[in-house]
Structure 1
Amino acid sequence: MGFDTKILTVKPESVHFGKNDVMPTITDKQTEDNIRLAANELVHTTNCVGFPTETVYGLAGSALNDDSVRSIYRAKNRPADNPLIVHVSSLDQLKRKLLPRDYEIPSVYLNLIDKFWPGPLTILLPIHKDSPISKLVTANQSTFAVRMPNHPIARALIAVSDTPLAAPSANASTRPSPTLAQHVFHDLQGKIPYILDGGACDVGVESTVVDGLVSPPMLLRPGGVSVEEIRTVGGELWENVILSKKTAGKNEAVRTPGMKYRHYSPTAKVVLFVDCGDGAKAVNDYIDQNNIDPVQIKIALLKSRTFQDADKINSNIYIQRELGTTGSEISHNLFKALREMDEYGVDLIMIEGIDESNEGLAVMNRLSKAALVTVKGGERDEGKNGN
C-alpha cells in the first residue's frame, strides 16, 4: 500500500517532562495535535511513522506487534536478522509494559541509567518467559535492546501512545542515517503515512549500545555516549569494558543493530583517509594513481582537523567542505554532509578520518562501514570495510 506521506510540524520546545513525569505537558496545540495523530496511527494501525530523536530520525512501530515490526522492515528494506532497539518514555513504562513484575534491572546498569537516561544510551536486558516483545524485534535472540530517548518529541510520542516503540533509523537500508525530516521523506516517501518534523538532530550518530549481562561488560556499538564516559560513570564494573568487533560475520547472529551488513553509505564511492597528515600528498597520490580526472569526475573532500591546507590539494576538486574540528561537531555534521554530496551529484567522496577517542570512536565506526577504500598513512586497504 502506498501513502501520501505528510510531514507534520512539531515544536520540541513546547514539550516538557518534569523529573518524575510519565506524561508530558505540551503548550503548543499544533504540536500536541500532530503528536496525537501519529500516536493514534501507531496504536490503531500497523503502520510506522518517522520521528526525531536526539541521535537521528527514527522509524517507529509498536514493539509489541509483529505486523507493525514487519512494516518497519518492509519500509526500510531491512534484513530481518538485523535486530531493532525498543524505545520507552519512562522507567515506569519499561517496568509496566516489558518486564516481569518482580524483575529488578541489573545493578550494573543503574549508574548509567541515572546519568544517561533519557539520552543516547541503549542497554541489553534478558527476554523473559511470556515477554510481550515481538520476536521480530530481537531476531529470536535471548535479549532485547532498550533506551529512553532524550528528544522531547520522541519521548512524548512514546508516552502519548503508551507503546514501547521499535525504532531503527528512518532511512532506506544501507543509506546514511537521517538527521532531518527531509532526509526521511527522501528515502521513505510513499512508504509511511507521517513524519514528525522536529528540526535537526543534536547528536547526529546513533545511540551507544552496551551489554552488562556479560562479564566483563561489552560496548557493542559506539555512539552518542563515549566509552570514556561509560568507564567513568559506570564505575568499577565498567572499568574493563570490552569493545566488540566492528563488523559481524555473514552468518553470525548479532544482538544490536549496526554490526552487520553495509551501513551509512551514500551513492558516491567513499574513500577514508587515516593518519595522512595534512592530506595533500595522500589525496593527490590517490587521484594520480587511480587515473582520476577531477574535471570529468566530481570529487568532494570532507575535512576536519588536519586537512586544512587547500592550496596543496588538487585545485579541480569539485567541493571542499569542513565537518568541524571537535568530535561533537563532526558527529553532528557527518550524515548530513554525506547526503548533501549525493544531492550535488558527487561521484567520489574523500573524507578525513579522526582519532578514535571520545566521539571519534562512533564517527570512525560509521566511516569505516561507509567506505569502500581506506588509505592509511598512504597505504591503501580496499574492499574490506562495511562487509
Structure 2
Amino acid sequence: MRTQRLDTSPAAMAHAAELLRRGELVAFPTETVYGLGGHALDEAAVAAIFAAKGRPASDPLIVHLAATGDLPLVAATIPALAAQLATAFWPGPLTLILPRHPRVPLAVTAGRETVAVRVPAHPVAHALLVAAGVPVAAPSANRFGHTSPTTADHVLADLDGRIAAVIDDGATPIGIESTVLDCTTTPPTLLRPGGISLEALEAVVGPVQVRTRPTDAEQHGLTSPGLLDRHYAPDHELWLFSGPPATALARLRAEAETLLKAGLRVGVLLPAEDLALLRDLPVETESLGPASDPAAMAHRLYAALRALDARHPDRILARDLDDAGLGRALRDRLRRAAALVVEV
C-alpha cells in the first residue's frame, strides 16, 4: 500500500484527522520539520510510530497539542515557569519537558515520568490538531537517525508505504527541530537547541543550564529526543571541520583535493561565501545561503544535505558554524550528523 499524498483542502484535512483518530499514521508539516503523527494516547498508534521509523524505544516522542489549554490532557502539573514560557513562545518551536499525566502511555516517554510537549505554530499542523481533537505524538517523519524531512517528498523518500498519508504543504519555514527545555529542573535545562535561541529563553526566564548529552540515569530512556551523538545523518559519510572559519575552510579544501586525486566523488556543504573559494574544484556543492543569515541556513540545511546525498558522493565535507543564536542549533545538527569532526 502506497502512502496517500494529501493536500490541505478541508476534505483532505478531515480525512487526515479521521485517520489519526483511527490509530493510523499521518505525516504533516510543522514550522520546524515534517512530523510523523499518531494518536498519543493510543498505545497501538504509538507503537506504530516506532515501527515505521525504526526508532528505539529509549528515544521519547514529542506530544503536539492544538492549544496551551490542552496541557492538562498530557501533563500532571504545569509549573509556573512552563506557563510563563508557553505565554511567551507558544504556538512556536519550543518543546517543554513536564511531569507526565498517567493517561500518556509510557511508550511515548521512553518509560520516564516526564513528557515532552509543544504547540506548533504552522497553520496546517494547527488545523489538523484541532480537527483530530486528540493529542498527537509526532517525531520527525523520517527513518530513525536519518536527515530530517522538510518537504513531503523527503517524507515519502523515507516512509512511503509505511504510513497512511502525508499532508503536502511545501517546505517547512524554519527547517530544524524545536528547542527542548526541561522545566522539571531548577534552573531549567536546555536539552536540544532549536528554533528558539538560548538567548531568547534567558531573556524571559533568566539563567538556563545547558546539557545536550544523555546522563548515566538515561541509559534506558532519554528525557528528550535529539540527545544521541549520531543523528540527523545523511547516508553518505559527512566530515565536519571545526575551528576558525578561514583555517577550517583551508583544511576542508585540502581534504577535498586529496579525495579528488584518489578518484573519489566529493560533496561540499558550505555557506554561499565559502563556496566561491572552491569553484575551481570539481566537487558537488550545495549552498546553505549567506553566513550572515542563520535563519536562511537553517531553512536550507536538511534539504541541502539530502540533495548532496542523492548525488552519491564518497564523502560530504562541511565546516562548523558559529555557536550563537540559531547558529547553536545549526552546529548541534551538523555535529550529530557528522561521522567525524576534525578539529583544526
TM-score (norm 2): 0.93
Look up the match of 2:290.
Answer: 324
CA RMSD of superposed structures (Å) = 2.0
Pick aligned residue for 2:139 from 168, 171, 180: 168
In 1, are the aligned partners of 2:286 and 2:307 still within 8 Å (CA)? no
Q: Provide closer, same or farther for how the CA distance between residues 305 and 342 of structure 1 changes in structure 2, counting only shifts above 3 A.
A: closer
In 1, are the aligned partners of 2:252 and 2:318 still within 8 Å (CA)? no
Look up the match of 1:258.
Answer: 226
In 2, are the aligned partners of 1:248 and 1:260 still within 8 Å (CA)? no
Does 1:346 find its partner at 2:306? no
Pick aligned residue for 1:272 from 240, 246, 254: 240
Q: Which amino acid aligns with 2:289?
A: L
Does 1:66 find its partner at 2:73? no
In 1, are the aligned partners of 2:242 and 2:342 still within 8 Å (CA)? yes
Q: Within 5 A, what are the aligned runs for 1:27-106?
A: 31-44=9-22, 46-95=23-72, 97-99=73-75, 103=77, 105-106=78-79
- The CA distance in 1 between the partners of 2:238 and 2:289, in whole Å, is 15
Post-superposition offset of 1:276: 4.2
Q: Provide closer, same or farther for how the CA distance between residues 251 and 110 of structure 1 changes in structure 2, counting only shifts above 3 A.
A: closer
- The CA distance in 1 between the partners of 2:229 and 2:275, in whole Å, is 33
Q: Which amino acid aligns with 2:96?
A: I
- The CA distance in 2 between the partners of 1:340 and 1:284, in whole Å, is 20
Post-superposition offset of 1:155: 1.1
- The CA distance in 2 between the partners of 1:280 and 1:209, in whole Å, is 31
Q: Any unmatched runs of 5+ in structure 2?
A: none
SS of equivalent residue, structure 2 residue 224: coil
- The CA distance in 2 between the partners of 1:51 and 1:309, in whole Å, is 36
Q: Within 5 A, what are the aligned runs for 1:376-387?
A: 376-377=343-344
In 2, are the aligned partners of 1:276 and 1:376 still within 8 Å (CA)? no
- The CA distance in 1 between the partners of 2:6 and 2:51, in whole Å, is 22
State the number of aligned residues. 341
In 2, are the aligned partners of 1:172 and 1:188 still within 8 Å (CA)? yes
In 1, are the aligned partners of 2:249 and 2:319 still within 8 Å (CA)? no
Look up the match of 1:227.
Answer: 198
TM-score (norm 1): 0.83
Does 1:126 find its partner at 2:99? yes
Look up the match of 2:269.
Answer: 302
SS of equivalent residue, structure 1 residue 356: coil
- The structure with the larger Rg is 1
Write out per-residue CA displacement over residues 161-189 of structure 1, whole angstroms, 9 at most, x where no aligned residue.
11100000000111100000000011000
Q: Which amino acid aligns with 1:51?
A: F
- The CA distance in 2 between the partners of 1:302 and 1:162, in whole Å, is 41
SS of equivalent residue, structure 1 residue 282: helix
Look up the match of 2:2.
Answer: 4
Write out per-residue CA displacement over residues 234-256 of structure 1, whole angstroms, 9 at most, x where no aligned residue.
2xxxx221110345668353111
Write out per-residue CA displacement over residues 299-343 of structure 1, whole angstroms, 9 at most, x where no aligned residue.
1211127625425x7622233534332111111100010001111
- The CA distance in 2 between the partners of 1:32 and 1:294, in whole Å, is 56
Q: Any unmatched runs of 5+ in structure 1?
A: 11-30, 378-387
Write out per-residue CA displacement over residues 92-142 of structure 1, whole angstroms, 9 at most, x where no aligned residue.
3223x3346xx5x211123321121000001111124xx211110011101
Q: Which amino acid aligns with 1:144?
A: V
Pick aligned residue for 1:211 from 182, 192, 208: 182
Q: Provide closer, same or farther for how the CA distance between residues 303 and 91 of structure 1 changes in structure 2, counting only shifts above 3 A.
A: same
In 1, are the aligned partners of 2:190 and 2:212 still within 8 Å (CA)? no
SS of equivalent residue, structure 1 residue 345: coil
Q: Provide closer, same or farther for how the CA distance between residues 309 and 319 of structure 1 changes in structure 2, counting only shifts above 3 A.
A: closer
Q: Which amino acid aligns with 2:90?
A: W
In 2, are the aligned partners of 1:276 and 1:282 still within 8 Å (CA)? no
